[in-house]
Amino acid sequence: MILTYAAQQIIQDLGVQLFLFKVKAHSGVKFNEIADRLAQVSITSPFQDPRISINSSALNQIKTIPMWNGLVLDYSIKTVIKKFNSESWRQKWLRQNRIRWWIRTNKAKNINWDMTWKTVHPSKISSLISSSNEASIRRFSLKLLNDELPTLSNLNKRNPSLYTTDICPFCQLEIENNIHVFTCSSQTDINPIIELKSKFIQIIIHEMANILQQELNLNSLEKKLEIYTSDFELRNQHLMEFDQICFLDIIAGIVPNSLVTLNSHLVILRSMRKFKIHLFNLWKYRCDKVIIWEKSQNIKTKDKKVGRRRFPILSTVSHDTTELRVYDDLDIEQYKGIEISYIQNNNIDYVSGDTRNSFHTAVVHAKQWLYAKFLNGVTKKGLHAFIKLTDRALANQFLRFTEQRWAVP
C-alpha cells in the first residue's frame, strides 16, 4: 500500500510518462532482474540488505500513515497484528531450553517458518474430515520437532529408577535422542544418513515429476539436488548447534529457505509430508525393538504405568498417633522434630489457663490423625478422597468424645 502510493507520487512529482511492457522472466533484462531480487528480499532473506526504505514524511497523498516503533507498516493493521502475534509466540517457543540449543538466532533467520508449520500440520485445523493415520503422523511430527519422543534420553529423565541409562541399547555408543533414532548404525555398517539422503532426493524428484510433469528436466534437477545435499552424509549431532542448517535439522522438521527457493511450495509440502511418513515407519520399527529390549530387562507395562508417589512413606509415624501436638502453622519437618517431653495437654488453654471442652480435643485429635495419614502418603484417588477423609475423621473423633463430660471453659 505505502509502496504503491510512493511510486505514484514519484511519477507525479517528476512528471514521468510511464509505459508498461511485458518482458520474459529470467531472460537477462537488467531492471527485471533487479526487481526480482528486491521482490525476494522479504521472503527469503528479510534480515539482509538490500532493503526498500521510504521517507514517509514526504508522502502528501496519505493522511494517516500506520507506524509501529518508528517503522512504516506497508500492510493492513489486521495483517500486522497477525504477524506480530505469530512472531511473539515463535520467539517464546525458540527460547525454550530444548529448542534454543540447536536453533540459534542466525539459524532462525534462514528457516521458512510458514512451510515448517505447514509440514507439521498439513491439513487445515478447521477441516471436518479426521483420520487416525494423519493424527498419528501429526503427533509424531510435533513430538519430533519438540524433542518429546519417548526415547531413552527422555525416559531416563522421566523415570530414572526404571530406565537407569540413556545410552542406546542397540549400538551402546551414543545417547538415544530424537535424532539418534534415525542415525543409529547398529543394524548396518553403512552410514544410515546416506540412505535417508537418497530417500529424500527420490521423494522430491517424484513429487516434482507428478506436479510439473512435462516442464521438468530430470538431469538438471538431479544435479541441483546433488549439490544441495552434498554434505548430508554428516551425522554428528553437534552440527545442529552451528548456524548453518544441516540435514539433521531437516530430519527434525525444519524447512530452510534454500530448499523453498529450489522448488515450489507444493512440491516441498508434499515431499516433507512423505519424508515424515518414512521417518514414522522407522520410528515404529524402533519401538518394536525397544519393546523386546524392555522384556529382556524385565520392564513391564504395569511398571511404566505406576506413577510416582507424591509423599514418601514414613514407617516411624503410626496412624493412631495421639501424643503429638499438631497445629496448622506447623510444617512436616517441625512435626517430625517435636520431642515427647514437650507435648502439652490439649485439654488446657495455656494462655488463659481455662479447661477446653472435649469438642476442641476431638478436633485436635482429628488433626493429629490426618497428619499421620498425610505423612504416610496420600492414596492415588487424590485430593477428593483426602477431603472426604477430613470430614469423616472429624466426625469419628467427635463421636469418640461425646460420651465424656463436657467441661465449661
Report yes or no on 21 lying in a domain.
yes
Other CB atoms within 10 A of residue 184 CB? 19
What global pTM score does this model have? 0.64
Q: What is the pLDDT, as a whole number, of residue 392?
A: 60
* Whether residue 293 is found in the same domain as residue 315: no
Within this chain, do residues 300 and 229 fall inside the same structural domain, yes or no?
yes
What is the secondary structure of 246-279 as a DSSP string? -HHHHHHT--BHHHHHHS-HHHHHHHHHHHHHHH
Phi first, then psi, for residue 203 (nearest 5°) are -65, -45
Q: Could you tell me if 65 and 59 are in contact, meaning their C-beta atoms sit under 8 angstroms apart?
A: yes
Give the SS3 label for residue 320. Answer: coil
Q: Which residue has the cell 494517516?
A: 64
Q: For residue 377, what pLDDT is reported?
A: 58
Cell of 30: 537488467
Q: Give the DSSP H/E element, type plus range, for residue 68.
A: strand 67-68
**Predicted local confidence at residue 333, as pLDDT:** 45
* Rounded CA separation 127/342 (Å): 69
User: What is the C-alpha separation between 393 and 236, in angstroms, rounded?
Assistant: 61
The angle subtended at Cα 164 by Cα 161 and Cα 166, nearest 5°, is 135
260 and 131 within one domain: yes
Mind spelling out the 3-state secondary structure of 373-388?
A: HHHCCCCCCCHHHHHH
Last residue of a domain, one of 279, 305, 331: 305
pLDDT score recorded for residue 397: 53
Low-confidence ranges of the chain (pLDDT < 50): 43-47, 309-344, 346, 350-352, 380, 383, 401-409
Residue 222's domain comprises 108-305
Q: Does 352 lie in the same domain as 250?
A: no
**Residues 159, 270: one domain?**
yes
Smallest Cα–Cα separation from 139: which of 126, 152, 130, 127?
A: 130
Is 91 inside any structural domain? no
Whether residue 89 is contained in a domain is answered as: no
Instruction: Look at residue 103 in the predicted model and tell me its pLDDT.
Output: 92
Domain boundary residue, one of 260, 282, 305:
305
Q: Indicate the residue among 11, 39, 69 that finishes a domain.
A: 69
Q: Considering the domain boundaries, does residue 86 fall inside one?
A: no
Residue 407 confidence (pLDDT): 41
Identify whether 84 is part of a domain. no
| Count of Cβ atoms closer than 10 Å to residue 311 Cβ | 11
Q: How many structural domains comprise the chain?
A: 3
Give the DSSP per-residue string, 166-233: -B-TTTSSSB--TTHHHH--SS-SS-HHHHHHHHHHHHHHHHHHHHHGGG--HHHHHHHHHHHTTTTT
Q: Are 152 and 301 in a shared domain? A: yes
Inside any domain, residue 102:
no
Q: Are residues 272 and 180 in the same domain?
A: yes
Q: Is 348 helix (H, G, I), strand (E, B) or coil?
A: strand
Q: Where are the alpha helices (DSSP H) in 76-151?
A: 77-94, 97-100, 105-109, 113-120, 132-145
CB 72 within 8 A of CB 54: yes
Do 234 and 149 share a domain, yes or no? yes
CA 12 – CA 112 distance, rounded (Å): 38
Comparing C-alpha atoms, which of 123, 122, 99, 136 is closest to residue 272? 122
How many Cβ atoms from other residues are within 10 Å of residue 281's Cβ?
10
Which cell numbers hold the place of 142? 510435533
The answer to the question of residue 324 being in a domain is yes
Contacts of residue 309, Cβ cutoff 8 Å, sequence gap at least 6: 377
Do 235 and 295 fall within a single domain?
A: yes
Q: What is the pLDDT of residues 31-73, one digit of tens each?
A: 888 887 776 655 444 445 555 666 766 777 666 777 788 777 7
Task: Decide if 145 is inside a domain.
Answer: yes
Q: Are 177 and 147 in contact (CB under 8 A)?
A: yes
How much is the pLDDT for 277?
94
Q: Cα(278)–Cα(262) distance, rounded to whole angstroms?
A: 22
Residue 35, pLDDT score:
80
Same domain flag for 235 and 212: yes
Q: Which residues contact 163 (CB under 8 A, 6 or more apart)?
A: 152, 155, 156, 299
pLDDT at 47: 47
DSSP-based three-state secondary structure for 352: coil
**Same domain (yes/no): 293, 320:** no
- Do both 301 and 319 map to the same domain? no
Neighbours of 358 (CB within 10 A): 20
